Amino acid sequence: MNTNAEHTRPEGGHLVHGRRQRPDGPSPIDVISVQSQLVYGYAGNSAAVPPLRAMGLRVAEIPTTLLSNAPFYDTLRGRMLPADWLADLLQGARERGLPARARALVSGYFGTVDNGNAFADWVEATLPQAPGLRYWLDPVIGDTHTGPYVEPGIERIFVERLITRAWLVTPNAFELERLTGLPALAQADAIAASRALLARGPAWVLAHSVSGAPDMLVTLLVGHDAVWRWSTPYLPVDVAGTGDVLLALMLAAHLRGKPLPEAVSFALAGVHGALEATLASDQEELDVLAAVPAAHAHHARFPAERLA
């Protein structure tokens, strides 16, 4: 038995032990990703982390849920993490110094209002101490064809506690409407709603799944001084994880040096390629592993159009 082990808490003390030969240097970290986690299928961290790692980024995954699969199957196992568990994991990440070393913090689906508040408490205490950490917020609420699928109080956490801390926010059109109280399904409305969201603190809003020409979808990147637009063909496939992969690819490309508009083009090419691969394989889950190769091969497939 190692008598030099330092026990940080009584419960589970047998898990804490010393190592005789451990290098002193802390491991590098690029992204802290706080999202849902699935056993089967792709959503949240289960969708975002594979492309982030395929792009060569080091990711610390913090789950908000541990579920067997997405909830549109006929059975669902697992549970939302209790808020004290999530708070403990976040505190552990801070004790290891991850926020001071990481370049990006991502949050997605929280599962419960208590988890949302636990994360907001951590963000409010952590971001002022980590000036190099940019917060990318995916305000998961729902979609036009599903309606909201989160507890109503989570929207208030986004509006009152998290949007003001975020550098970039990535709502779909439905979520943009819920966050601002303004129409956002059409392009002009989505731009106006994005500007209203910018007034609350973020530097950028990426609004996706906006209505475009027939059989087309519009993505908008709105900043304080610029607006870009992309048009992509609508594909007849409804799978989870597309928004998570979109954010992951955009983040990875930006951290690798691409300006944001180029990063969005890269990400859209990857998501579209993954959807095409899913249709071609006739499988029920998004082909996440196809996203990065498609993004690299067709990075100029969807060029940005500057509107302002």
Quickly list DSSP for the chain. Answer: --TTPPPSSSTTGGG----SS--SSPPP--EEEEE--BSSS-STHHHHHHHHHHTT--EEEEESEEESS-TTSS---EEEPPHHHHHHHHHHHHHTTHHHH-SEEEE---SSHHHHHHHHHHHHHHGGG-TT-EEEE----EETTTEE-S-THHHHHIIIIIGGG-SEE--BHHHHHHHHSS--SSHHHHHHHHHHHHTTS-SEEEEEEEE-STTEEEEEEEESS-EEEEEEE--S---TTHHHHHHHHHHHHHHTT--HHHHHHHHHHHHHHHHHHHHHHT-SS--GGGHHHHHHHTTTSS--EE--
CA distance 204 to 222: 6
pLDDT in tens, the chain (308 residues): 444 444 455 566 677 777 777 788 889 999 999 999 999 999 999 999 999 999 999 999 999 999 999 998 999 999 999 999 999 999 999 999 999 999 999 999 999 999 999 999 999 999 999 999 999 999 999 998 888 999 989 999 999 999 999 999 999 999 999 999 999 999 999 999 999 999 999 999 999 999 999 999 999 999 999 999 999 999 999 999 999 999 999 999 999 999 999 999 999 999 999 999 999 999 999 999 999 999 999 999 999 999 99
Paired sense of beta strands 31-35 and 59-63, if any? parallel
Architecture of domain 27-298: 3-Layer(aba) Sandwich (3.40)
Q: What is the pLDDT of residue 16?
A: 73
Q: Residue ranges of the domains in the chain?
A: 27-298
Q: What is the pLDDT of residue 4?
A: 47
Q: What is the pLDDT of residue 145?
A: 85
pTM to 2 decimals?
Answer: 0.93
Q: What is the pLDDT of residue 152?
A: 87
Q: What is the pLDDT of residue 10?
A: 52
Burial of 184 (0-12, 13-18, 19+ CB in 10 A): buried
User: Could you tell me the CA-to-CA distances from 186 to 151, 196, 202 in Å, in that order?
Assistant: 26, 15, 22
